[in-house]
Amino acid sequence: MVGRVTTIPGVSAPALGGKRIVMTEADKLIARLPGLLHYFDPAVLDAYGAGKCRASGRPIRSFPPAGSAAGTLPTPTRVAVDAAFNNKPTISFPTGDGDIRIGPRTVTPSFAIVMVASLAAAANASGAGFAQLLTTANANVLGVTWQNVATASFRADNLAGGSDYIGVPSASVPLDTKAIWVFSYDDDARTAIAWIANVTPLTRTGITTPALVAPSMTWNIGGSGGNSTANGWRGKIAKALIFGREMHSDTYRPYLDDAVAALKAEFAIA
């Protein structure tokens, strides 16, 4: 699916969720990207990161920590003007115990993500647990992808022990600073590619256990979809693009590079 321009608001129409914003150059490019399913943008979300997806119109729901009492407010909070992200809005995840969800019926076997985010140095220094940037789940088994604090890795799945992952050198993980985080997975070829900031992309072939997609699955931004009270993201997330196909093949890699370049320009990332 080519980006649906009609659902990305411009100067003459209110954004999904009722907020009026102006199309940026990045928005215009993003709208034309093939395979774009979901566009997570804090500019059209409420104080807790809830609202609607700018590409699909799907509800985006913000949740408090797992097991919270009724009436507990969600942990993620919106920063309307974040100087650290070129004065763009962000969602702050201070404690790793809440998350924001898109879905259900939004997860595809092959997929790609491009996110603008920062990881808190204090979270990385713990050396244990996870700082989950984006996850999905099936029958309470976390799968697909996250940033592992202890070993610094992106995973294509976490089924049957989760041996299929791409290790990322700890020294290349940027801390307390904005960066582009990219992960693409091809379920047919069982290959994946990942990179953070400007490091050389890392690849993995021969992935043996795919994430099993079910209608109930959701994309969980900044958390584990309610399966953990401590392993969510610790830091900020400014934007997230989720594609319903891999984007690292020879055919689609140029579009992936375009998405990265557009977000770098918008957020002044070198």
pLDDT over 70, % of the chain: 79
84-99: per-residue pLDDT in tens? 999 999 999 988 887 8
What gap in Å lies between CA 57 and CA 35, rounded to an integer?
15
169-220: per-residue pLDDT in tens? 777 788 899 999 998 989 888 888 888 877 778 888 887 766 678 888 889 8
Query: Domain 5-267 falls in which CATH fold?
Result: Jelly Rolls (2.60.120)
Poorest-pLDDT segment among 34-48, 149-163, 248-262: 149-163
C-alpha dist (Å) from residue 3 to 97, 152, 235, 241, 247 = 32, 32, 29, 11, 14
Q: For residue 261, name the pLDDT band (cuts at 50, 70, 90).
A: very high
Give CA 31 to chain center in angstroms. Answer: 17
57-74: per-residue pLDDT in tens? 999 999 888 778 888 888
pTM across the whole model: 0.86
Sorted by where each begins, the domain ranges of the chain are: 5-267
| Coil, strand or helix at 8 | coil
What gap in Å lies between CA 269 and CA 212, rounded to an integer?
35
| Prior bond of 104 cis (ω within 30°) | yes
